[in-house]
A and B are shown apart, each in its own frame.
Chain A
Amino acid sequence: MIPAKFDYVKPTSVGAAVQALASGGEDAKVIAGGQSLLPLLRLRLSYPDLLVDVGALDELRGVADTGDELLIGAGTTHYQLVHDPLVGQHCGILAEAAATVADPAVRHRGTLGGSLAHGDPAGDLPAVAVALGATMVARGPGGERRIAASDFFLDYLTTSLQPGEILTGVRVPKLGGDWGYRYEKFHRTAQAWAIVGVAALARRSNGHVAEARVGLTNMGSVPVRASAVEAAAAGAEATRDALNAAAASAADGTEPPADLHGAPDYRRHLARVLTGRALAAAAGA
């Protein structure tokens, strides 16, 4: 279907983009790779008056080492995440998860910032950002603002970005060499959304898991941390049995959706099984 009529601007700087967005009010929308927004436009589910295209802004792209963190530009594509040496070295789970996003065509166009700002709980990267404890960097008319990933996702397709703000980058804490990770994604066809996804990080120490972090994809209206699992896994032996036991509480407190791909109970079961696998892989068990 052909999208409804809208105005389109392609600013040449982030500052100009923020201004353009502000002038468009609540019916203006940022577009970068367009891999989530274009389908909505073409299905006529979204009717923005103005699209502000930030896809060509080089200042939004790339990965920088800032010491304890990596600052990843919001316009960095999934493909770039998969192949970036800094990402691979310091937060490999982001590359691993990005490699599972849809298909190659989408990964070449879709961006990290777009995936996060879209706020789809079935998207892979939001749960990873939450598990990593990433910090979103947004710029609006009032200047720059930082938002913790845990405060960023408010509800289905809804983030704490204000109407005039653009997500410019993501600060991701570097993981030390003693951290292992695994993104487990369950879907029926290669390019499909995750029915359930689990991002697990584990810090190993003397055959035990010293610290664990687990983020869940598509187990609620926002990506969630499985804090009960994290608590149970901390100090556990790095064995499959011990970590499977810790994963038993993976679905606690979640409200997974029901749809053609699975009922809530089925998703809870998947969350427990996948969390066990992901933790075991992350801990080298």
Chain B
Amino acid sequence: MEMEHSFTVPVPKSRAWDVLLDVERVAPCMPGATLDSVDGDEIRGRIKVKVGPINMTYAGTARFIERDKDAGVVTLEASGKETRGAGTASASVRSVLEDRGQETHVKVLTTLNVTGKPAQFGRGVMDEVGGRLLTIFASNLAALLAEQEVAAVDGQAAAAPAAAPAAAGAPIDDLKLPPRATSSLRREGITTVGQLATKTEDELLAIDGIGPASVDEIKSKLTDLGFTPGQPLPAAAVAPTPVAPTPVAPTPATDGAATPAAPAATASVPAASAAAPVAPHPSTAREYVHKAEDEAINLLRVAGMPVLKRAIPVLAGLAAALLIGLRRRAARRRSR
């Protein structure tokens, strides 16, 4: 299956290029994706997909096989395996940047191949799901690139995160809201405190399962944390986590993924990782610690509309495909 998406972002090609190669920032654009490690050109992660009663996780690796800055072409190849089944997914994602002065046109060509039960299950589920997943990815990526521009103009590309209350990236569970309110928010794709803080009272009331009492409680808890409910956060504070509750500190715009192991990027590694099992190549590998590691993203909600149709496997496929793969550390694995 082949798909093509394209969009135009209001940033020069050189800046778009830097962002596109920074997997730490691009990975969260993929719905349900979790980045586990980046070692040189190899990226490990996984993607979790949930459609109705169906939920699947693909884990695997992705690798840059082409990076031609002059031509503006990046090709990422990914392959993954279902963590609880026998299915596999592989994908090749080729992004082509075209310089249009102050704008950049981005074309994303994806070839996806999914095997196993998921591939057999749906009556044609694959195309639709894959297409939707990629559409969400592309729109998140476009938003990420556009936000770079805002941050740069404000001269606070690196400082922006500090302007938002520290809890912006924390999962909403930290607010200790009633379970029903928390699950209602999650269904709407609101997984972090930062995302919640940008919602107005009316937006919250429009969510099934959230009533006036819940809104009052949310407002009071957010205010306690230093947020101004209903106000947008500084762009850079929101940008890296459009869909996944994975706080990743943006790196300065000049520090692209072309130098994935640059010291500056290590700021995103929580101190806890110091005690983590030794990575294969300690000198260059980076490990990521995810707060809400088992949080599945519901694609239907992420897209802000009922979305994913016939989906399932594909998602997973893409998932694996697009960025991620992963290796879960045994100690963190949920025992079942």
Contacts and interface: CB of A to CB of B under 8 A. Distances in A.
A157 B124 contact: no
B310 A156 contact: yes
A45 B124 contact: no
Contacts of A154: 300, 306
Given A156-B51, A261-B123, A162 B306 contact: no
Interface residues of A, number: 35
Interface residues of B, number: 33
Interface in B118-142: 118, 121-125, 127-128
Interface string A150-163: 00001111101011
B118 A45 contact: yes
A46 B54 contact: yes
Contacts, number: 91
B167 interface: no
B183 interface: yes
A44 interface: yes
A11 interface: no
B62 interface: no
Interface in A99-151: 118-119, 122, 141
A224 B183 CA distance: 28
Contacts of B55: 45-47
B209 A157 contact: no
Given A25-B179, A257-B309, A157 B123 contact: no
A29 interface: yes
Given A40-B54, A44-B117, A156-B308, A257 B124 contact: yes
Interface of B: 51-56, 84-85, 117-118, 121-125, 127-128, 179-180, 183-184, 186, 208-209, 300, 306-312, 336
Given A25-B183, A141-B180, A221-B309, 19 more contacts: A25-B179, A43-B121, A44-B117, A45-B118, A46-B54, A118-B53, A154-B306, A156-B311, A157-B52, A158-B52, A158-B300, A158-B306, A162-B183, A162-B184, A163-B183, A221-B306, A257-B123, A258-B128, A260-B123
Interface of A: 1, 4-5, 25-26, 29, 37, 40, 43-48, 118-119, 122, 141, 154-158, 160, 162-164, 193, 221-222, 257-261
30 contacts: A1-B117, A4-B84, A5-B336, A29-B53, A37-B53, A44-B84, A44-B85, A45-B53, A45-B54, A45-B55, A45-B85, A45-B117, A45-B118, A45-B312, A118-B53, A154-B300, A155-B306, A156-B308, A156-B310, A157-B51, A157-B54, A221-B128, A221-B306, A221-B309, A221-B310, A257-B125, A258-B124, A258-B128, A259-B123, A259-B125
